[in-house]
Structure 1
Amino acid sequence: MKDIHNKDMERASSKQKIFILAGLLILLIISVGVALAQGAVYISPQEIQGALTGNTGANSQIIMNIRLPRTILTVLVGINLATAGAILQAVMKNPLADPHIIGISSGAGIAGIFIMIVLPQFSFLITPAAFVGAMLAALCIYILAWKNGIKPLRIILAGVAVSSFIGAGISALLILYSDRVNGALMWMVGGFAARSWIHVQLILPYTVFGVFFVLLFTRHLNVLLLGDEIARGLGMNVEKTRIILTAAAALLAASAVSVAGLLGFVGLIVPHTARLIIGSDYRFMLPASVLLGGSVVTLSDTVARCAFAPIELPVGIFMAILGVPFFLFLLRREL
């Protein structure tokens, strides 16, 4: 009877989590609708629907050529960064892990900036170069933090050290090539100004492949949370799994950095919020992070775009305003 009762409770809990995921999907749809409607010109839902169904109204060009690609891009970038953060928090057993905080985004950033200002003719290589930079940064952090295992504080300290070192390299590049830094400076802050369908096409394959691939590893992520000894006892090759998942996180973060710049704190805020809403089971927490990540970045970009109109703030500034207090709260609680 007890086993039957536990199974019934588990089914009920699973149903509740499915309802939560449905609610997060609705939130994402609402976020997209708000982003399409709001801006220098307000566009009604009827006009948006008309533009999406092929009607040539007065504002259809604004929707199809400016707001729709930008909105899709904010969703994809939010998904990538939130998923990368959720993976890193499990792989590194560190609740403060985030591609930006621990230096992975910085590794992607210096590679992207190098291509952008030193070899602009090879701009099509920004995403693969950013991936290599992100993986090298992750490898350095992992090596520096390893001493009879991984501890959260070591990850943070190693990440700060690597990020500072890479930041010095970025500053050197900007000084040496000061005549080419205009685009790079905006890219360092993180934002979606002047983004188009080309950028959507650039990131979309990485998002689809990366998220689908990671969803296949939800059981592995749950096992990693139990600790290395238990994971090995269950037959998992812990180091191999860590390398594969870290590579997936680096690919997702690098593709986001390549189109949006150094946008921070998404991978920290979103997985924690998803965990509070739906629990720590990665079968549900990872999809929740995907949906919530798209919503958070889309709404943040809309606010950054409209709050001080006609001046447009880069969304990276807005995310830092949200993220820094959240990070300090978590740091104080964990330490």
Structure 2
Amino acid sequence: MSKKEALRDRAGWKGFIVVIFAVLMVISTIFSIQFGSANIPLKDIWTTFTGDIQSDFQNIIWNIRVPRTFVAILVGANLAVAGVLLQGIMKNPLADPYIIGVSSGAGLAGMIVLILYPHLPHILTPVAFIGATIVAFTVYALAWEKGIAPTRIILAGVAISAFLGSGISALMVFYSDRVQGTIDFMVGGLSARSWPQVEVILPYSIVGILLAIIGIRKMNLLMLGDRTAKSLGARVEWIRFSMTAVATLLAASAVSVIGLLGFVGLIVPHTARLIVGNDYRVLLPASIFLGAAILTASDTLGRIMFAPIEVPVGVIMGALGAPFFLYLLRRKMV
């Protein structure tokens, strides 16, 4: 087989993997609509979507399961893309919106709105974006030492996350009478998420993912190293700045509707990268589909594991993500 044929086969294999991830997303979407505290037969789901017959489960499907599933898909895709971008920008496979403190910045800003200004829910996402942006560029500045220092990213992120976590705890102490409504936000849960949350996150998802797609070529240039990228005419620092802003927008929008959900941006990009490689033309769509599939499946698992008691998806992702992070950390240290 010639080198050209081998390359074509390799590209075909990567495309096949992306299709597999898309199929997994579709399957997890169907399961999310079907399973929960009440299991819905597939024929009822079909008739509800086609409108042929009125189903007894129609209200559950349209007003509970479908919007919740849409939120899970969008949040999973947003956090996965944010993780992919941050790992490329910061040259560290351990970079993740949660680990480096971006989610904590959005979380603290979101908690301030939820506790101090509960009558202004429409400002939650913009304020979360501001908080996440401040943290993202603070971490970036602290990690810079004649170039990006990967180890400093994690250290700076952990320190900032701890500082912001103390701020969240202080809010909970001083305003303990208002904390009850923020529990789901703290643990990262999809309970009671419906069409209003879809309407909040959808525009940010569309804009953020489109901007990430537009930046695919620029992210591939960063993979070549700063010197090579600059020799090809790339404005390296502008690429980092703009793509960090895109990642922050995606992470903040996800946090604003689901709360402090961690490790999606770590597990998904790293898994996708191991399978399809570092080419963002394939890595980005693979991460979008895999992120949506994993978060939707995890939410479904949380609903059926101890039904009728629901385990927040943030707990499921923490149980999966923490060991995965330690594995990556050990691999990187060895």
Q: Do both share a fold (TM > 0.5)?
A: yes
Q: Give yes or no for the alignment of 1:49 onto 2:46.
A: yes
Q: Is the counterpart of residue 23 in structure 1 residue 20 in structure 2?
A: yes
Q: Which amino acid aligns with 1:13?
A: R
**Match of residue 333, structure 1, among 325, 331, 334:** 331
Deviation at 1:186, TM superposition (A): 2.0
Q: Percentage identity across aligned positions? A: 53
Q: 2:96 aligns with which of 90, 98, 114?
A: 98
Q: Which amino acid in structure 2 is aligned with residue 157 of structure 1?
A: L
Aligned residues of 2:184 and 2:191 also touching (Cα < 8 A): no
Equivalent residue pairs, number: 332
CA-to-partner distance for each residue in 1:211-263, whole Å, 9 max, x for gaps? Answer: 11101111111111222111111111111110100000000000000000000
Task: Name the aligned partner's letter for residue 37 of structure 1.
Answer: Q
- What is the rounded CA distance, in whole Å, between the counterparts of 2:115 and 2:50 in structure 1? 40
Aligned pairs for 1:61-76 (under 5 A) are: 61-76=59-74
Q: Distance in 1 between matches of 2:213 and 2:49?
A: 30
| Equivalent in the alignment of 1:191 | 189
Aligned-residue Cα RMSD (Å) equals 1.1
5+ residue gaps, structure 1, are: none
Match status 1:182 vs 2:148 = no
What is the TM-score when the length of structure 1 is the normalising length? Answer: 0.97
Alpha-carbon distance, 1:152 to partner:
1.3
Amino acid at match of 2:200: L
Question: Counterpart in 1 of 2:216?
Answer: 218
Letter paired with 2:301 = V
Specify the SS of the correspondent of 1:43: coil
Q: Does 2:205 match 1:204?
A: no
Runs of at least 4 residues off by over 6 Å: none
Provide the rounded CA distance (Å) in 2 between the counterparts of 1:167 and 1:41: 36
**2:124 partner letter:** I
2:252 matched residue in structure 1: 254
Which secondary structure state, in structure 1, belongs to the residue aligned with residue 119 of structure 2? helix
Separation (CA, whole Å) in 1 of partners of 2:35 and 2:175: 38
Do the aligned partners of 2:95 and 2:154 also contact (CA within 8 Å) in 1? Answer: yes
Q: How does 1:121-200 map to 2 (within 5 A)?
A: 121-200=119-198
1:22 shift after superposition: 1.2
CA–CA separation in structure 2 for the residues paired with 1:36 and 1:328: 33
Q: Residues of 2 paired with 1:143 and 1:40: CA distance? A: 47
Query: What secondary structure is seen at the aligned counterpart in 1 of 2:96?
Result: coil
Q: What letter is aligned with 2:131?
A: G
Partner-residue secondary structure (3-state), 1:256: helix
Give the Cα–Cα distance (whole angstroms) in 2 for the partners of residues 59 and 184 of structure 1. 30
Looking at structure 2, the residues matched to 278 and 164 of structure 1 have their Cα atoms a distance apart, in angstroms, of 34
* Structure 2 CA distance for aligned equivalents of residues 183 and 325 of structure 1: 30
Structure 2 portions without partners, runs of 5+ = none
Return the offset for 1:8: 2.5
Task: Give distance in 1, aligned partners of 2:47 and 2:328.
Answer: 45
Q: State yes or no: 1:322 paired with 2:320.
A: yes
What's 2:109 paired with? 111
Structure 2: how far apart are the matches of 1:150 and 1:279? Answer: 22
Q: Which amino acid in the other structure matches residue 128 of structure 1?
A: P
Cα distance in 2, alignment partners of residues 89 and 83 from structure 1: 10
Q: Give 1:294 deviation, angstroms.
A: 0.2
* 2:330 counterpart letter in structure 1: R
Q: Deviations over 1:59-92 (max 9, x none)?
A: 1111011101101110110000000000000000
Identify the residue that residue 227 of structure 2 maps to in structure 1.
Answer: 229
The 8 Å contact of residues 52 and 64 in structure 1, kept in 2 or not, is answered as no
Q: Cα deviation per residue 1:31-70 (whole Å; 9 max; x = unaligned)? A: 0011111112211111101111224211111101110110
Partners of 2:70 and 2:178 in 1: CA distance = 29
